Amino acid sequence: MLDLELTLTLIILLKGDCMIYTIKDIAKMMNVSTYTLRYYDKEGLFPNVKRVNGIRIFEEKDFEWLRVLNCLKNINMPIKKIKEYIDLCALGDASLEKRLEMILEQEKSIDDQIAQLNYYKQEIEFKEAYYKAAIDAGTESAVRNWSCKDATLELDRIPKGDKK
């Protein structure tokens, strides 16, 4: 019980200087579980987070990194790569070019994902126009000839002159 009292006292003292956040607070903000954040910590993704009696204490200054981490995870950068990025950051100016290279690599990955999603969006747009036209006609048989009959995975196209 003494450890809990000491921990709470330390947290109150820390709060006097700046706002602090627990792992539960951060999990809620990042929309991830506390288990996920503990895993990130175990993998070394929180290099500067303070601990008070084993409790992770996040401060306002940690949010710059938390925003970057949240972004990198949400664009599917592997944890191993994020850790490499953190290690490079710790090297300071000597690693600027390598960090830029990593960011440019991720940007290309995002661009590729966007292009792929835009490609598949065409099929969704086709289906939208198809169903709207079928509903307007009162029957699907009115638009059945829209779809490609060939054995191909090429996307269907909305026939010219028909509206979405």
Task: Give per-residue pLDDT as tens, 111-120.
Answer: 999 999 999 9
Q: What is the 3-state secondary structure (H, E, C) of 103-151?
A: HHHHHHHHHHHHHHHHHHHHHHHHHHHHHHHHHHHCCHHHCHHHCCCCC
Instruction: Give the domain CATH number at 70.
Output: 1.10.1660.10
Instruction: Give a yes or no: residue 38 inside a domain.
Output: yes
Domain-embedded: residue 45? yes
The domain of 13 spans: 2-75
pLDDT for position 147: 73
Q: What pLDDT sits at residue 2?
A: 47
The pLDDT of residue 107 is 95
Q: pLDDT grade, residue 12 (50/70/90)?
A: low
In total, how many domains does the chain have?
1
On the question of pLDDT at 152 being above 70, the answer is no
pLDDT digits (tens, 9 = 90+) for 28-39: 988 889 999 999
Residue 16 lies in a domain: yes
Task: Count CA within 13 A, CB hemisphere, residue 163.
Answer: 2
pLDDT tens digits for range 42-90: 999 998 888 888 888 898 888 889 899 999 998 999 999 999 999 999 9
Q: Is residue 8 part of a domain?
A: yes
Give the Å distances, CA to CA, from 133 to 125, 126, 156, 163. Answer: 12, 11, 15, 8
- Say if 37 falls within a structural domain: yes
- The answer to whether residue 136 is domain-embedded is no
Is the pLDDT reported for residue 13 higher than 60? no
Kindly state whether residue 20 falls inside one of the protein's structural domains. Answer: yes
Whether residue 164 is contained in a domain is answered as: no
